[in-house]
Copies of this chain bind each other. A is one copy, B any other.
Amino acid sequence: MIEGKNLIAGIWESQSDSIKFKTVNPKTQQELAVDFQQATPDQISRAVEAASASFPQVSELTFSDRIRFLECIVEELESIQPELIATYQLESALPEGRANGEFQRTVDQISRFVELLKKGTFVKATLHTAGPDLRKMLAPLGLIVIFGASNFPLAFSTAGGDTISAFAAACPVIVKAHPYHAGTSELVAQAISKAVTRCDLPHGIFSHLGGQSHDIGGQLVSHPAVKGVGFTGSFAGGKALYDLAQQRGQPIPVFAEMGSINPIFITESKLQSDGALAEAIAQSVTLGTGQFCTNPGLIVACDPSGQFDLAQKISDSIRDLELPPMVHSNIQAQYDKQLFGLQGNDKLDKFFKSKTCAAAIGSVSAATFLSDTSLKEEVFGPFTLVVVCNSSEVLLAVAGALEGQLTATVLGESSDATILKSLLSQLKSKAGRILFQGVPTGVAVTEAMQHGGPFPATTDSRFTSVGTDAIYRWLRPVAFQDCPNALLPDALKDENPLNLLRTVNGEFTTATL
Q: Is the CB of B508 within 8 A of A446?
A: no
Chain A stretch 462-513: residues in CB contact (< 8 A) with chain B? 462, 464, 469, 475-484, 486-487, 501, 503, 506, 508
Q: How far is the CA of A134 from the CA of B501 in the complex (A)?
A: 23
A33 within 8 A of B: no
Q: Is the CB of B481 within 8 A of A435?
A: yes
Q: Is the CB of A448 within 8 A of B136?
A: yes
A273 within 8 A of B: no
Q: How far is the CA of A436 from the CA of B127 in the complex (A)?
A: 16
Question: B residues within 8 A CB of A461?
Answer: 141, 476
A421 within 8 A of B: yes
Chain A stretch 164-221: residues in CB contact (< 8 A) with chain B? none
Q: Is the CB of B135 within 8 A of A487?
A: no
Contact A487/B455 with A132-B442, A448-B128, A462-B253 known, Cβ cut-off 8 Å = no
Q: How far is the CA of A452 from the CA of B432 in the complex (A)?
A: 27
Q: How far is the CA of A432 from the CA of B478 in the complex (A)?
A: 5
Question: B residues within 8 A CB of A55?
Answer: 429
Q: Is the CB of A432 within 8 A of B484?
A: no
A40 within 8 A of B: no
A396-438 vs B: 1/0 string, CB under 8 Å?
0000000010000000001001001100111011011111111
Q: How far is the CA of A266 from the CA of B404 in the complex (A)?
A: 50
Q: Is the CB of A455 within 8 A of B417?
A: no
A250 within 8 A of B: yes
Residue from B242, B253, B404, B479 within 8 A of A449 (CB atoms)? B479
Among A127, A442, A506, chain B packs the most CB atoms within 10 A around the CB of A506
Chain A stretch 132-169: residues in CB contact (< 8 A) with chain B? 132, 134-136, 139, 141-142
Q: Is the CB of B478 within 8 A of A131?
A: no
How many copies of this chain does the complex contain?
A: 2
Q: Is the CB of B483 within 8 A of A449?
A: no
Closest Cβ neighbor of A477 among chain B residues: B450
Closest Cβ neighbor of A450 among chain B residues: B479
Chain A stretch 384-403: residues in CB contact (< 8 A) with chain B? none
Q: How far is the CA of A231 from the CA of B299 in the complex (A)?
A: 41
Q: How far is the CA of A462 from the CA of B473 in the complex (A)?
A: 9
> Which residues of A are in contact with B by a Cβ distance under 8 Å?
55-56, 59-60, 119, 126-128, 130-132, 134-136, 139, 141-142, 242-243, 246, 250-251, 253, 404, 414, 417, 420-421, 424-426, 428-429, 431-438, 442, 444, 446-450, 452, 454-456, 459-462, 464, 469, 475-484, 486-487, 501, 503, 506, 508
| Given A128-B447, A434-B481, A501-B508, 5 new contacts (CB under 8 A) | A56-B426, A128-B449, A417-B486, A417-B487, A433-B481
25 pairs, A vs B, C-beta closer than 8 Å: A56-B426, A126-B447, A127-B448, A128-B446, A128-B448, A128-B449, A130-B446, A132-B442, A139-B428, A243-B246, A251-B459, A420-B484, A420-B487, A424-B487, A431-B478, A432-B476, A432-B479, A434-B478, A434-B481, A435-B481, A447-B503, A448-B503, A462-B477, A469-B477, A508-B508
